[in-house]
Structure 1
Amino acid sequence: MAGLKRQALDAMDEAGLVRLAQAGDGEAFCVIMQRGNQRLFRVARGVVRDDAEAEDVLQEAWVRAFAAIGGFRAEAGNMTWLTRIVLNEARGRLRRRRPTVELEAVEAAQMEAGQVVRFPGAFGSASPEADAARAQMRGIIEHAVDDLPEPFRMVFILRDIEECSIEETAATLGVRPETVKTRLHRARRLLREALDARLASAMADAFPFLGPRCERITAAVLARLAAAGRIATGS
């Protein structure tokens, strides 16, 4: 029976799920969470710019949403309402920790002097080269997005990453559609300029060859040549 109920919930639209959640149905709220987690995590991270803290923000926002869902009247869409809760929680948390954040940012900048961009997992990583390269590229993009001013960053995340409509983005952020268009244009321009600079600096590190890949290819070629009798094997 539990499996059948979950199938029914998975097939239900947002309005139906909200009605059940308002009646205290935890499974319906679970489905709402699973559908919204990715977007809302990205929104939270867009404000606090830290994965672990974004998770904390999202958890707190979901708790608040469940407590308040009984009063949800659907004047705005479900995701718009949830996104506002996440934004409020994330911005409130940022305000509370701002003095510490600013001090940490100064210390981090001093420690990273001369480093153009951080490459997560670049040192001591056991991942294959392709995974490492993807992680590096993702780090470059995330770092550039993080550096956007928040008004531009939030519009970019909602429009270009989450693919929200102009109208939904405007309703979520409480601004006019024309403002969304202007901020998105500026966000894309700033991001393009930042990525151009970062990619130019990182170009020398692209397509890493030395190390395990070099050794692997060299060993494979030597083995093939030895098997064909083209070279003598060592004693």
Structure 2
Amino acid sequence: MPRPETVSSVTERDLVAAARARDAAAIRTIVRQNNRRLFRIARAILKDDGEAEDAVQESYVRAFTHLAEFEGKSSLATWLTRIAINEALGRVRRRRPTVALDEVSPRGRGATVVPFPLVAAQPDPERAMAQHEVHAMLEQAIDALPDAFRVVLVARVIEEMSVEETAELFGLKPETVKTRLYRARAQLRRSLEAKFGPLLTETFPFDGARCEAMAGRVLARLAAMS
């Protein structure tokens, strides 16, 4: 007896069928559902925002023009991700043909970004600038990881894929995924400690306008008590 179909599988099949007929709404839905994952994976391979965006666009065009080849053996997201990986790797090979990428070549899901420092309820230019700088340093540290470690870190930590999903996408054994993630985290931790260690004494700043405002309030309170 066949298994009952789930709502999600019916929805995906309907989306694919509509996209094959070039239904604009279906295509937009598929793109919106997969944009972040495809960009992050392509960005992990290419280490360049603009080129990663181009690679994702080319991947979508290739996918939608060959949608008849999607057999549903894997999820649509997995199928699209494989196309994006192949496109990104092809660009790396064309850009640096002497670089071996065997360790990240594929064989064959969104994430929550925790802001640091925490964002205040009201816009705070100083905190916004600090947050931007922290994000930039974090991205630089991730970019500095070896290719094989970086793609696994992005897949497992940033995109929150399972060990099995990551192993399937990159043609690795689950144990290899775990080992590379462990080493990526260790290397990233060392890099961030070197970058942020000297900055710890400057955390929780209370200067500039906030300092002056405090002085003004204290003086006002003292004047009121006179």
Same fold per TM (> 0.5)? yes
Match of 1:217 among 208, 211, 216: 211
The residue number in structure 1 matching 2:112 is none
Q: Deviations over 1:90-124 (max 9, x none)?
A: 1211222238xxxxxxxxxxxxxxxxxxxxxxxxx
SS of equivalent to 1:43: helix
Q: Determine the C-alpha separation between the residues in 2 that align with 1:208 and 1:56.
A: 40
Structure 1 spans left out of the alignment, 5+ residues: 1-9, 100-126
RMSD over equivalenced CA pairs, Å? 2.7
Distance 1:129 1:61, change over 3 A: same
Q: Is the 8 A contact 1:46 1:154 kept in 2?
A: yes
The residue number in structure 2 matching 1:128 is 125
Structure 1 segments of 4+ aligned residues over 3 angstroms from their partners: 201-209
Which amino acid is the alignment partner of residue 11 of structure 2? D
The residue number in structure 1 matching 2:18 is 20
Give the alignment's TM-score, normalised by structure 1: 0.73
Does residue 51 of structure 2 align to residue 53 of structure 1? yes
Which amino acid is the alignment partner of residue 140 of structure 2? H
Q: Where do 1:127-206 residues align within 5 Å?
A: 128-206=125-203
Which amino acid is the alignment partner of residue 32 of structure 1? I
SS of equivalent to 2:180: helix
Shift of 1:73: 0.8
Structure 2 spans left out of the alignment, 5+ residues: 1-7, 98-123
Match of 2:79 among 73, 78, 81: 81
Shift of 1:227: 7.4
Which amino acid is the alignment partner of residue 143 of structure 2? D
Q: Determine the C-alpha separation between the residues in 2 that align with 1:189 and 1:25.
A: 46
Q: Deviations over 1:41-83 (max 9, x none)?
A: 1111111112222211111111111111121112222111111
Match of 1:44 among 42, 45, 48: 42
Q: Identity of counterpart residues, as a percentage?
A: 45
Q: Determine the C-alpha separation between the residues in 2 that align with 1:30 and 1:154.
A: 26
Give the alignment's TM-score, normalised by structure 2: 0.75
Shift of 1:207: 4.1
Q: Determine the C-alpha separation between the residues in 2 that align with 1:30 and 1:47.
A: 25
SS of equivalent to 1:229: helix
Q: Is the 8 A contact 1:144 1:191 kept in 2?
A: yes
The residue number in structure 2 matching 1:3 is none
